[in-house]
Structure 1
């Protein structure tokens, strides 16, 4: 179902809309955001320099570090009296990156997610089971508002309590399920434990994202649930879910909401723009955001883009599914966390040494993380075995709580004796991935 004529607009019309909105956005940030005033001045750029879409490449990049450096409100482009919501994610300094929304931003976001759900198979009047987590992350509330905007009956079950998830699917008969692929697979397993054949449920479509997932995982989900499984893309710094969505007709690339975002792909090392079809780092510029417009945001996600008319009839730019990260980000159950963020939390505990490893594994199809970290030598010198063991347990419990409070993920911590972690003459081996690729 095509919600808006813009989804099938000729390229000339789309480019005119994009250029008009780009000019407005550049003017907006130049007038209202000191950060952009400074970097525009540094690069000798004014809003009058934007006369074509190609001029976008002359604008400076924005990075996640810029958001951290301007924590919490430094990148806001409107008076705080107009802000109606904040979302946030964890950061390396222990402080989150904060994004803001005006009422108009929420309305626009709702429209875009409604469009995305429609692209993925959702229809007004049907029921959507939303198993994305609610809270500071954008997934749960983003899909919730979009579902309601589309006119679907929305079940805000959030994540967790898997037995309840199964019960609600059985009772409410939804046609669409939204969540991370790994968690939906856990729901499937719970169904099977309870004697329910997953393929016999009412579900017809799945909209999955917030973590990388393979074609093999797609086939498993589709075969188990007898659904069409589609990918959704977004990130809080740009907006949230709804930036791009895979259509259920083709399942071949995600349609980007080009009337709201300009997308580029760059070589992450040279920062030069790459041609269509070539893998590189995705860069997004928002065109319609009020509270926190963003210019050439480097996402760190690796993908390619291309333009073609899809079998679904849409003509908007497509992007491939995310193929990896420029950096070494770890994604645990839909939550992004960098090893450096974990390291920061480890080093807040005085008794722990900066020698650690992160062990990734699978538990019932969900990613799990174990942190192995050493105690400092001075903590064990002269201490008896019983006291050392008590300290190890207490420190492990403390670290687990610190990580949960600041990185928003549940981990297992194992505190070991000094010298237990292998040393390296080159780069330290921080991540050990024991997961079997799906």
Structure 2
């Protein structure tokens, strides 16, 4: 493998490395060479072209930094990105192919442009993952794909549109929350175009089902959707099974990523996310002590990007709680496996425990089916202990337990035992609209109402966004 320290070497080497990676042909020596050379190239790139990193890494002997000694480098945090803005870029926006920003729901939007290296090296992993996914579900046939996410200043539409075109699959951009689309038009186009694959946030799987029911449609009977590929928030196996009970369609991860870090991992038909290995050095951090646990374990994901594009980040603390493990998946795809457990900031103290978002969602949905949404309300009981009220919206169609009383009682018992605090379950026909926002602001803001706490910036932002998530358009 050649020494990839220049742009010319990158363009020559990356396609070859990518092909060998997908075929499982990279050995330990190949990985050592690639990672060392790419880390060296990126460090030289950012210190020469990024005003922030020229200051941030000043005084560090970069020649002594290797993939095994990343601890010599300081972290990059979200606060750094908000404070430094364009000074983080290794160049100017004019050097990029396209300009994106973060949503800015809870602070200033930060610039996330992408250049040709960024786009190619990120999208190619999505393309390979979709190729395997489509082969599994459609036996080589290319389905019509509905893209249900934002496009303006956001990479969603461009990324999946580019990948669909490369695979020869027709795609249609039908984000229901766009003023040009809405839920009624999205539902009409799904039927008329025979859309079999929808790419969306997990919450939208439920919101779309509710919109279909409001328009007299049965999701499983009247709509042709066979597969949801989801991204943007946690999606537990319990959530996927619940969506399947409503739609009769499978739910699989599309990718795990962000505006800043691009496609960190891509999904497979066995519900796992595989890290885009050639693009990152991965560390798992203890979320409390910030100590590095190495490449595997459970903690906060920290990334050093290996593509010297317009905004490579060094030891970037993503704020995401994950478990990273060696690849033992049977799907045939390469790359270590990452399980996303939620945001570090979304951990919730209940009773004597502290729970990750995925643990709470799995506990609520684990014994339910045909659930159109849920919200967990935490109060302080008169005796000073925590008390939970869980509101669930259930789809009923003349079943024996038509009022949900049996499921309600069973869920209350199970959650009381699980969390060790008294729990009441209420079946409702109209949840708080904030639950429709999913992870647009944060999973916690949408799903947890903590009456023990004071005013919360995320909750205020999610409540303000709730009006834009109307299901009646």
Q: TM-score, normalised by structure 2?
A: 0.65
In structure 1, distance between residues paired with 2:62 and 2:57: 9
Deviation, structure 1 residue 169: 1.4
Are the aligned partners of 1:206 and 1:227 in contact in 2 as well (CA < 8 Å)? yes
User: Secondary structure at 1:88's aligned position in 2?
Assistant: coil
Are the aligned partners of 2:146 and 2:174 in contact in 1 as well (CA < 8 Å)? yes
In structure 1, distance between residues paired with 2:288 and 2:110: 24
Deviation, structure 1 residue 47: 3.1
Please name the residue that 1:317 is paired with: 336
The RMSD of aligned alpha carbons is 3.5
Instruction: Give runs of aligned pairs for residues 56-67 of structure 1, distance below 5 A.
Output: 56-67=70-81
How many residues get paired?
346
Distance verdict in 2 for CA 1:158–1:432, change over 3 Å: closer
1:113 aligns with 2:136: no
Are the aligned partners of 1:182 and 1:366 in contact in 2 as well (CA < 8 Å)? no
Instruction: Give runs of aligned pairs for residues 22-171 of structure 1, distance below 5 A.
Output: 22-41=39-58, 44-50=59-65, 52-71=66-85, 73-91=86-104, 94-121=107-134, 125-160=142-177, 161-171=182-192
Are the aligned partners of 1:121 and 1:205 in contact in 2 as well (CA < 8 Å)? no
In structure 2, distance between residues paired with 1:4 and 1:158: 33
Write the deviation string for residues 303-344 of structure 1: whole angstroms up to 9, x where unpaired.
110112421123311101x212222599xxxxxxxxxxxxxx
Of the candidates 188, 196, 212, which is equivalent to residue 175 of structure 1?
196
Where does the alignment leave 5 or more consecutive residues of structure 1 unmatched?
331-359, 371-406, 413-421, 434-438
Where does the alignment leave 5 or more consecutive residues of structure 2 unmatched?
1-17, 349-389, 394-428, 436-440, 461-473
Are the aligned partners of 1:281 and 1:300 in contact in 2 as well (CA < 8 Å)? yes
Instruction: Give runs of aligned pairs for residues 422-433 of structure 1, distance below 5 A.
Output: 428=454, 430=456
Q: TM-score, normalised by structure 1?
A: 0.69
- Considering fraction of residues, name the structure with more helix: 2
User: Secondary structure at 1:298's aligned position in 2?
Assistant: strand
Instruction: Give runs of aligned pairs for residues 386-405 of structure 1, distance below 5 A.
Output: none
Are the aligned partners of 1:255 and 1:318 in contact in 2 as well (CA < 8 Å)? yes
Write the deviation string for residues 229-285 of structure 1: whole angstroms up to 9, x where unpaired.
11221011112xx3212210x22x310101112221101222212256632001111
Are the aligned partners of 2:285 and 2:300 in contact in 1 as well (CA < 8 Å)? yes
In structure 1, distance between residues paired with 2:249 and 2:107: 40
Instruction: Give runs of aligned pairs for residues 9-408 of structure 1, distance below 5 A.
Output: 9-12=25-28, 13-41=30-58, 44-50=59-65, 52-71=66-85, 73-91=86-104, 94-121=107-134, 125-160=142-177, 161-192=182-213, 193-198=215-220, 201-231=223-253, 232-239=255-262, 242-248=263-269, 250-251=270-271, 253-274=272-293, 278-320=297-339, 322-328=340-346, 368-369=433-434
User: Secondary structure at 1:327's aligned position in 2?
Assistant: helix
